[in-house]
Amino acid sequence: MVRNSLLGILTVGVLTSSTCDPQVMEEVLNSVITPAITEQQAANGLMEALVQGANNGSSALAKLDGYLKNPSVKIPFPPEAQKIETTLRDLGMNKMCDDVITSLNRAAEDAAAEAAPILINSIRSMTINDAMDILFGANNAATAYLEKTTTTELTNKFKPVIESSLSQVGATKYWSDAVNYYNKIPLVEDLNPDLSAYVTQKALDGLFLMIEQEELKIRQDPGSRVSQIVKDVFAYYDANK
């Protein structure tokens, strides 16, 4: 209450002063309205915002249809196997192709549940310099940092989950059926890409895309800044960028 009253008195005083220089007025208003926070507090606020983004991005993908029903991250047939899909659909084997695609995306959804702890550990390990570089960096600076610091660990974590899930959701069978059916067609080149490596990479691509979207939302939409420290750090960012 006292803080609000003081802010009101200072603001009215500045605005009603006939002798106040416009530049001085702007500086005083900024010092009153913008929270005075240290770089450590700014770093802490950024980390909280990134944890929020990592949780939101990974949980959106980990739910049923998180990959399958999101056109931005949906996993199709491997590029080198597109001719398998085209040929089979031309032969009326649409369900076989649809089963393959559904099972690939189900495996990625299973793996996405493993992402948040790894991402959050990387976020918590940031230095103040890392955090400030990210805060005042490009709109995808945090995503680029996380991609650089977590890709190896995420790959190691995702691949066995995806390999297990591919078997559990029937992808291995669906894929084998599709490949075997295709390879029996006269005059076609035999194809059998590494399915688990492909799904792992596509799952990670989708994860970082979702995190990038969350990062952009937090940077550009004040309504997405849910806690006070996150609001303060981006007020600091807006005033100093």
Q: Where are the alpha helices (DSSP H) in the chain?
A: 2-16, 22-33, 39-62, 82-90, 94-112, 115-124, 128-135, 141-168, 171-183, 195-220, 228-240
Q: Give pLDDT, residue 193.
A: 62
Identify the segments of the chain with pLDDT beneath 70: 1-36, 169-171, 187-193
Q: Give pLDDT, residue 189.
A: 65
Cβ contacts of 63 within 8 Å, gap of 6 or more: 109
Cβ contacts of 105 within 8 Å, gap of 6 or more: 65, 67, 68, 74, 75
Q: Give pLDDT, residue 195.
A: 83
Q: Give pLDDT, residue 21.
A: 54
Query: Are 181 and 96 spatial neighbours (Cβ–Cβ below 8 Å)?
Result: yes
Cβ contacts of 204 within 8 Å, gap of 6 or more: 151, 154, 155, 158
Q: Give pLDDT, residue 64.
A: 96
Using one digit for the tens of pLDDT, what is the confidence trace for 49-73?
999 999 999 999 999 999 999 999 9
Q: Give pLDDT, residue 78.
A: 87
Q: Give pLDDT, residue 19.
A: 45
Cβ contacts of 50 within 8 Å, gap of 6 or more: 123, 134, 142, 146, 215
Q: Give pLDDT, residue 191.
A: 61
| Full-model pTM | 0.77
Query: Are 133 and 237 spatial neighbours (Cβ–Cβ below 8 Å)?
Result: no
User: The tokens of 63 are what?
Assistant: 């739910």
Q: Give pLDDT, residue 169.
A: 64
Q: Give pLDDT, residue 151.
A: 96
Q: Give pLDDT, residue 210.
A: 96
Query: Are 139 and 211 spatial neighbours (Cβ–Cβ below 8 Å)?
Result: no
What are the structural domain ranges in the chain?
1-33, 39-240
Burial class (CB in 10 A: 0-12, 13-18, 19+), 133: middle
